[in-house]
Amino acid sequence: MVTIDLAAPAAAPLDALDGLPRRLSLTLPELHLLAERAGGAPLPFEQATPSAPSGLASRLGQNRTGAEDTAFAQAIAALPDPAESLSRRGLLDGGVDAGVVGALGLLATPELAVDLDVVIDGERAHAWHRRGADAVATLATADGVVYELAWFPIDHWPAELGRALNLPSDVEHRDSQVPDRVTLGFELLDAGSEAVRSGRSDLLAAIVGRHLDTTSDAAGQPLDAGVAAQVVSALVTETRGRARLLTAPAAQPQRVGVVSLVLLADGWRVLSPRREGDRSLVEVRAVPPEELAALLAPVLAEVQA
């Protein structure tokens, strides 16, 4: 088994361009054409087929899904011919670029797969990372029309994973009412969050009182009831995004590991469930994007064990 140290920095390059990730921006038709020319390599996502208009829609008006399907189809139809645009960029001269063929091949036949789903302020992005023995290929999109294809040596993977959680420059940061590290009982988090969403502060206080013994701060001490209620409330009201990483080895796709994060007022928090006796707990811990690889490392080790 190949062991990857996701916490180690990338090796020093021999020159300014040595080993740097290569990136290509491709439209969906260009991506499909390149995959076809690269031996019919399957892509790591399934393209949804737009539903046909119904008689009900013609009488009552188009629903949101139908409008999105129409807008997507119009965007694709407005794109230039993929063969012509790829030829102009030199990507089809005498066949498909060898690097592109290798990247598409790795996306199709990896040793390990990591899928990322990130939502920030209602904007959603998907990324697919596929690792081989000594290289990684990635595909990412925010709209399903334009994709970024990238490939690089495996020692650049930690930085590329963190790149998926980098916040846009216009995302405002402010202080959070959630400590950098806190543990809450799952029942408290679940029932308390529903009470906050329902506007039932009285119910939240009762739930906190019942489950206060399942809370602890960074030093392992139980939280004050007021602090616990504030934390549960903030986890609902401050949340402006989420991220989920699913990982599985290609040989055993049923062995899935999951890392879940929420985006609060001051940045990302990872949610780490654990059991203590008969209690289900969730640790909520602040994590900068550059530490995402270190979070993922033990999950990768577990699914490959």
pLDDT at residue 56, rounded to an integer: 52
pLDDT at residue 11, rounded to an integer: 43
Copy the structure tokens of residue 168. 């846009």
pLDDT at residue 58, rounded to an integer: 54
pLDDT at residue 93, rounded to an integer: 79
pLDDT at residue 188, rounded to an integer: 97
pLDDT at residue 16, rounded to an integer: 39
pLDDT at residue 302, rounded to an integer: 86
pLDDT at residue 72, rounded to an integer: 80
Task: For the chain, 305 residues long, give each residue's pLDDT as a single digit of tens.
Answer: 333 344 444 444 434 345 688 999 999 999 999 999 998 999 999 765 545 555 555 555 555 556 677 788 888 888 999 999 999 988 887 788 888 999 999 999 999 999 999 999 989 999 999 999 899 999 999 999 999 999 999 999 999 999 889 887 778 889 999 999 999 999 999 999 999 999 999 999 999 999 999 999 999 999 999 999 999 999 999 999 999 999 999 888 889 999 999 999 999 999 999 999 999 999 999 999 889 888 888 898 888 77
pLDDT at residue 14, rounded to an integer: 38
